[in-house]
A and B are shown apart, each in its own frame.
Chain A
Amino acid sequence: MRQSQSAVMERGVELETVHETEPFEAAWAGEARWFVQFYREAPGSTIEFRVQISPDGINWLDHEGVAPMTSEAVGFLSIPVSHFGHWLRLRSEQKSGDTAPMLRIYLELKE
């Protein structure tokens, strides 16, 4: 049986321009997937999501294999990730729009 874990990284966070999820250790996992739900939508906005990786939980860079994903701040989206290091986080940035969305963010990990 493969080990797995679902982590609710944010339960309803106001996106104040830029948000980064807390550093999360994922050394044991071979694959991951982010889910982002707009708990409060902000139609007319553009939000950019970047998957970031780290060797130490302190220094971060964009995952070279996952292109930034943009959203119009409505509904639900997911981003698959593999070949990450031992740490994962998701960076969210509001690129345009007058109202801030509220995000619910899950990280799903599997061996």
Chain B
Amino acid sequence: MPVATKESSVTTPEAATVAADLRDAIRSSDLRLSKYNPLPRILTFDDFNQGAHGWVELGGNYDGRGTLESMDEHFRDFRPPQLSNANFFDVGTHGGMTGTYSMKLATRKAPGHTATAIRRLTMSGRGLLQIEAYLAWKVEANLGGGEEANTYGDISWDANSHPSEAQFGAFTVATDLSHDGIRYHNVMRFQNSDWDGHIVQKWMYPTVAEPTPHERFRGEHDYGRYTDFTAPNPDDWRFLGDTRQEACYNEVPTKINWHYLRFLIDTRTRSNVELQFNNDVYDLRDVPVPPYGEKYESLESLLNFYFSVRTLGPHRNFLFLDSVVISADW
């Protein structure tokens, strides 16, 4: 019986170095890609001036008749991604980092609501896998109201800080991966504020696997509409560290400054490796990636990434993605 090999052929070290140098040189002269630092093989490059590139609303699983009721309630409303020109009441069209358009994920004005877009691939190798993006997070601008509109949580308007900064809950970058029957999620969340509008601004990760529709089918849970689908119990989240992640919200909800994000994982070991946010780099090798206990079929070599944004108050929260690059070393 022929046995399928799982490894690609490797060239000599000298040739590999030359190839890497050549790749770097070519990339650095590419006006669109030079802002990225991808692994050798770029699987996807999503410039949202040319459409959504397969990023789609995360949908729940439904029965053979397509009934809404068969879908987990907290999986029914992740909202369609929008191709946005970042249009605001005060300045008009803000545009993207490159070109006019970015992809915007927008929540409802409902505490706990999450908007999520997912990108679905499969993996043709094992090893390092990376997602990079230029992104910005904002809250819908508010017009009108009384003096109470000038304060939210920790922040009162002082012509420098703006209460909308305390109205942004969190954004998350994560995977949904499965191979050899073992499914797992690598998850990193920027928690900006808490339910009371107190500033947090730290990275978090869950210590449990995401609840599944099959578990609901078996009667093990039935979560409500505004549940945190990634890990519903706040006690199942841990901060990456005590250090506050400084960032550039930039004072008001209609100024967009693009931030660089890079999340590196290793599918060979099913582990996290590194998170980069602008010039801050976090070693994630000790951050756990809890696998599911049950074996999965129909998901062999699943390679999904998702971005989500979650509001903790009655304010629409937005995550803007200028562009996204997914790359691998296989």
Binding site for B on A (CB under 8 A): 3, 5, 7-9, 11-12, 22-25, 27-28, 39, 55-59, 86-87
Candidates B68, B93, B101, B141; contact of A39 at CB < 8 Å: B68
List B271-330 residues whose CB lies under 8 Å from chain A. Answer: 316
Whether B51 contacts A25 by the Cβ 8 Å rule is no
List B31-73 residues whose CB lies under 8 Å from chain A. Answer: 50-52, 57, 68
Determine the distance from Cα of A23 to Cα of B89 in the docked complex, in whole angstroms.
13
Measured between beta carbons, the chain B residues less than 8 angstroms from A25 are 82-85, 87, 104
Measured between beta carbons, the chain B residues less than 8 angstroms from A5 are 51-52, 80, 83
Minimum C-beta distance from B295 to chain A (A): 31
Q: Does B132 contact A (CB under 8 A)?
A: no
Candidates A8, A11, A22, A56; contact of B108 at CB < 8 Å: A22
Whether B87 contacts A22 by the Cβ 8 Å rule is no
Whether A28 contacts B101 by the Cβ 8 Å rule is yes
Whether B85 contacts A27 by the Cβ 8 Å rule is yes
Whether B89 contacts A56 by the Cβ 8 Å rule is yes
Q: Does B165 contact A (CB under 8 A)?
A: no
Whether A11 contacts B83 by the Cβ 8 Å rule is no
- Supposing A5-B52, A8-B57 touch, asked if A56 and B83 sit within 8 A by C-beta, the answer is no
13 contacts between A and B (CB under 8 A): A5-B83, A7-B80, A7-B82, A9-B80, A11-B68, A25-B84, A25-B87, A27-B85, A28-B85, A55-B89, A56-B141, A58-B89, A86-B87
From A9, A27, A55, name the one whose CB has the most chain B CB atoms within 10 angstroms: A27
Q: Does B140 contact A (CB under 8 A)?
A: yes
Q: Does B106 contact A (CB under 8 A)?
A: yes
Measured between beta carbons, the chain A residues less than 8 angstroms from B143 are 58-59
Measured between beta carbons, the chain B residues less than 8 angstroms from A8 are 57, 80
Chain B residue total in the interface (Cβ 8 A): 26
Q: Does B202 contact A (CB under 8 A)?
A: no
Minimum C-beta distance from A12 to chain B (A): 4
**Additional pairs, 9, CB under 8 Å, beyond known A5-B51, A87-B87:** A22-B316, A25-B83, A27-B100, A28-B83, A28-B100, A55-B87, A56-B141, A57-B140, A58-B89
Measured between beta carbons, the chain A residues less than 8 angstroms from B108 are 22
Determine the distance from Cα of A88 to Cα of B3 in the docked complex, in whole angstroms.
56
Measured between beta carbons, the chain A residues less than 8 angstroms from B100 are 27-28
Whether B79 contacts A58 by the Cβ 8 Å rule is no
Q: Which residue of B lies closest to A1 (CB)?
A: B51
Q: Does B198 contact A (CB under 8 A)?
A: no
Measured between beta carbons, the chain B residues less than 8 angstroms from A22 are 79, 106, 108, 316
List B77-110 residues whose CB lies under 8 Å from chain A. Answer: 77, 79-80, 82-85, 87-89, 93, 100-101, 104, 106, 108
List B91-141 residues whose CB lies under 8 Å from chain A. Answer: 93, 100-101, 104, 106, 108, 140-141
- Supposing A39-B68, A58-B143 touch, asked if A12 and B76 sit within 8 A by C-beta, the answer is yes
Determine the distance from Cα of A57 to Cα of B93 in the docked complex, in whole angstroms.
12
Determine the distance from Cα of A27 to Cα of B50 in the docked complex, in whole angstroms.
14
Measured between beta carbons, the chain A residues less than 8 angstroms from B316 are 22-23
Measured between beta carbons, the chain A residues less than 8 angstroms from B77 are 11
